[in-house]
Amino acid sequence: MQKSQIIRSEPDEHGHWGRFGGRYVPEILVAPLEELTEEFTRARQDNNFWRELNQLLRDYAGRPTPLFHARRLTAHAGGAQIYLKREDLLHTGAHKINNALGQALLARRMRKQRVIAETGAGQHGVATATVCALFGLRCVIYMGAEDVRRQALNVFRMRLLGAEVITVNAGTRTLKDAINEALRDWVTNVHDTYYLLGSALGPHPYPLMVREFQSVIGREAREQILSATGKLPRALIACVGGGSNAIGLFHPFIADERVRLIGVEAGGHGDSLGEHAARFHTGERSGGGCIGVLQGTMSYVLQDPNGQIATTHSISAGLDYSAIGPEHAFLHDNGRAEYISSSDSEALEGFELSARLEGIIPALETAHAILPAVRIARESTRDDAIIVNLSGRGDKDVQLIADLQR
Ligand SMILES: *Cc1c(COP(=O)(O)O)cnc(C)c1O
């Protein structure tokens, strides 16, 4: 891998980071994806677009989010200073609104009246329903039947916001089935419909576009840590589902080669295929990911020896997905970023630490990053700092925790 390529981490014009990414879609979607790419490219160079987006991020979503020095967690770790990037304080409770606002502005530029989206835990569905209400757009959310059952509160929130929630009964009745249905809808209705994808996944230009909308996290964090400590942090740590909150934090630091970039996948409750969602868990005796195509992009995918997409497990619905965003696959293979995993029980322990030591109840997704952060802080000195992306708040998970404690 050439160094300049690592540092820029820009995909080529077809959306490839090395061998990853691209656009593996039915022919009927090629033209709409090209149209979207052109509009995004224009918007990306348009100061008015960014001015409007930044104003919404500030006045509607609540940016900039604070970078909080977690003193008790730091003392508990006994090493580097731990800072939390507080995306949990945003409107709707997670980083997802950053991307939803950016793409809703694009939908409006493209004069699409109808927006569709997929959702697993419901967080992206809620963010999408929210921005559609804000812009007066019709909103249809696809959600697997199993997730509708597990996340009833978010389904209710989406409906309150005026969205139509369509329950998907195909396959394992979870996120990947919801994505398939959303793509099917898009194929049929492209003339008036915008597909608002929720993570750094899917066919080009989505992984690039979502990264650009989420990079506001890293840009703010870089400025904030420099002003708090006078130097760059030793490491950045973020949980990785599709990879949007992690790439949003990492991206503005990619050229800073001394800053470690650490993504945390869901280790679930075992090493075998079906028991986790750790796509980079390769080369072990059993179930790891290998390179393949899922939902329009080439990346690491959890699949069985016959190439069938494997089921996954995580205590957090937001990390429970068989594929990872292509830019992460690229950063993994060229060694710029490191990927580790936390098990369900480690996530629960991290959840409790954050609540008890800092008074912050994190989303279970986010909670996967807490114990690794403590470990990495412990390996570093007190003059170093590390940043953890506090991707979302945990209100949505409180019932699940209560059930576990019963
Ligand atoms: C959706 C979600 C995630 C996982 O998605 P990414 O695209 O990997 O960021 C992580 N944390 C929270 C709070 C989420 O809602």
Which of 244, 280, 339, 364 for a ligand 1 pocket mutation test, highest count of atoms within 8 Å of Cβ?
244
Pairing relation of β-strands 297-302 and 289-294?
antiparallel
Q: Can you tell me the distance from the alpha carbon of 163 to that of 138, in angstroms, rounded to the nearest whole number?
A: 7
β-strands 235-239, 67-69: how paired? unpaired
Q: Is the CB of 394 under 6 A from ligand 1?
A: no
- What pLDDT, on a 0 to 100 scale, did the predictor assign at position 289? 79
Alpha helices (H) in 334-380, listed in sequence order: 344-358, 364-367, 370-378
The larger pLDDT score, comparing residue 106 to residue 406, is at 106
Best-predicted range by mean pLDDT (69-73, 318-322, 394-398) = 69-73
Ligand 1 atom at minimum distance from 392 CA: 13
Contact partners, residue 365, CB within 8 Å, separation at least 6: 239, 241, 316, 318, 319, 391, 392
Q: Is the pLDDT score of 5 beyond 80? A: no
Q: Which domains does the chain have, with CATH numbers?
A: 23-58+95-210 (3.40.50.1100), 63-93+215-404 (3.40.50.1100)
- Residue 44's pLDDT is 97
The residue nearest atom 3 of ligand 1, judged by CA position, is 318
Cα Dmax for the chain: 57
pTM above 0.85, yes or no: yes
**Quick check: CB of 350 below 6 Å from ligand 1?**
no
Q: What is the best residue among 239, 261, 312, 321 to mutate for testing ligand 1's pocket, by most ligand atoms within 8 Å of CB? A: 239
Task: Answer yes or no: is the C-beta of 130 below 6 A from any ligand 1 atom.
Answer: no
Sheet holding 138-144, edge to edge: 164-168, 138-144, 114-119, 193-195
Q: How far is the CA of 190 from the centre of ligand 1 (A)?
A: 27
Mean pLDDT of 217-246: 98
Average pLDDT over residues 366-391: 98
Q: Which atom of ligand 1 is nearest to the CA of 93?
A: 13
**Residue of the CA atom closest to atom 10 of ligand 1:** 365
Instruction: Tell me: cis bond preceding 64? Omega within 30 of 0 counts.
Output: yes
Ligand 1 touching residue 96 (CB < 6 A):
yes
Asked whether the predicted pLDDT for residue 6 surpasses 60, the reply is no
The answer to whether residue 176 scores a pLDDT higher than 70 is yes
Q: Are 318 and 243 in contact (CB under 8 A)?
A: no
Query: Does ligand 1 have an atom closer than 6 angstroms to the CB of 199?
Result: yes
Q: What is the pLDDT of residues 343-352, one digit of tens each?
A: 999 999 999 9
CA–centroid distance, 172 to ligand 1, in Å, is: 20
3-state secondary structure of 12: coil
Residue 9: pLDDT over 70: yes
* Ligand 1 closest atom vs CA 214: 9
pLDDT tens sequence across 212-230: 999 999 999 999 999 999 9
| pLDDT confidence of residue 174 | 86
Q: Is 347 in the pocket of ligand 1 (CB under 6 A)?
A: no
Cα(241) to centroid(ligand 1), Å: 6
27 CA distance to ligand 1 centroid (A)?
Answer: 30
Residue 248 pLDDT grade (very low, low, confident, very high; cuts 50, 70, 90): very high
User: Taking 50 as the threshold, does the pLDDT of residue 3 lie above it?
Assistant: no
Q: Which of 99, 123, 262 to mutate to test the pocket of ligand 1 (most atoms within 8 A of CB)?
A: 123
Task: List, by residue number, the catalytic residues.
Answer: 96, 118, 391
Q: What is the pLDDT of residues 101-156, one digit of tens each?
A: 999 999 999 999 999 999 998 999 999 999 999 999 999 999 999 889 888 899 99
Which DSSP letter does residue 26 get? -
Whether the pLDDT of residue 33 is over 50: the answer is yes
Query: How far, in Å, from the CA of 255 to the mean position of ligand 1?
Result: 24
Q: What is the pLDDT of residue 204?
A: 98
In percent, the amount of the chain with pLDDT more than 70 equals 96
Sheet order of strands, 289-294 included = 16-17, 20-21, 297-302, 289-294
Q: Can you tell me the mean pLDDT for 374-401? A: 96
**CA–centroid distance, residue 318 to ligand 1 (Å):** 5
Does ligand 1 come within 6 angstroms of the Cβ of 245? yes
